Amino acid sequence: MNNLETLKQWVEESRHIVFFGGAGVSTESGIPDFRSVDGLYSQKFEYPPEVIISHSFYERNPEYFFRFYREKMLPLGFEPNVTHRRLAQWEQEGKLDAVITQNIDGLHQKAGSKRVYELHGSVLRNYCTRCRKFYSAEWLKESKGVPRCSCGGIVKPDVVLYEEGLDQDTLMKSVMAIRRADLLIVAGTSLTVYPAAGLINYYQGNRLVLINRDETPYDSQADLVFHESLGSIFSQLP
Ligand code: CNA
């Protein structure tokens, strides 16, 4: 049996699939990732992107942060692709327990997934840092300079910046889902951003599948590895 046939069989047999993904899940929807050759990190900015989207930079230079954020990090108007849709279908069929994502684009929910653990938050939620009033992503995109609430407070995206900690509840739920998983599919992530990447180590089963165009530091731990595009694999899964 080839690798794809094995994966198809595992998907058929599994009742507790967990999917753990990253920016590569959404590139086929048209949203660039960070580390591919045409990703954000290959473009030239005055500062490296990981500096701009850090908490200290946000505090020191909010005008620059929000200019970059609006231009490069606010993916509005994109549609889910076959991977998002297949995962939503598996959840509906009762065979997928959770999608754990490092993405901030909301496309899993747009495809219909309900149990989505967003490790790095979501651009769709924005809150006043003073009075906690909610603002939409469209509002933030249209705002100018440093976005201000009607009360005068800064409106900050609910996105985890470098140097900021992850939400503990989301992290715990992710760990629990991975511990229970009978099939763990890790896909579209370079597995270089911690603590998210370390979640793989909580998996206790023997069906760890890695699907990523480029090699990752975890390839040798996986039971099946595909260095292919996600769409080409997911479009063939049941
Ligand atoms: P990354 O480091 O950019 O890695 C993405 C990986 O996906 C690379 O190794 C690519 O080889 C691979 N890849 C890209 N496209 C495909 C494809 N079609 N099929 C298979 N593999 C593919 O991204 P990570 O998610 O690992 O890094 C974590 C960061 C990126 C998180 O904090 C995210 O918030 C952040 N990010 C999110 C988005 C989004 O929400 N869509 C976009 C860009 C960056």
Is the pLDDT at 238 greater than 70, yes or no? yes
Is the pLDDT at 1 greater than 80, yes or no? no
Range with the poorest average pLDDT among 9-18, 69-78, 150-159, 220-229 = 69-78
Copy the structure tokens of residue 151: 């009360």
Give the residue carrying structure tokens 């999608």: 99
Q: What's this model's pTM, rounded to 2 decimal places?
A: 0.95
Using the atom order of ligand 1, give the atom closest to the CA of residue 39.
3
What tens digit of pLDDT does each residue of 147-197 get? Answer: 999 999 999 999 999 999 999 999 999 999 999 999 999 999 999 988 889
Cα–Cα distance, 157 to 176 (Å, whole number):
27
- To the nearest whole number, what is the mean pLDDT of the chain? 95
Residues in Cβ contact with 71 at an 8 Å cutoff, skipping those fewer than 6 apart: none
Residues with CB under 6 A from ligand 1: 22-24, 26-28, 31, 33-36, 39, 75, 102-105, 120, 188-190, 192-193, 212-214, 229-230
Cα–Cα distance, 9 to 224 (Å, whole number):
13
Using the atom order of ligand 1, give the atom closest to the CA of residue 23.
25
pLDDT value for 44: 73
> So which residues are the catalytic ones?
120
Local structure of 160: helix, strand or coil: coil
Q: Among residues 129, 84, 132, 82, which one has the least CA distance to residue 105? A: 84
pLDDT value for 37: 66
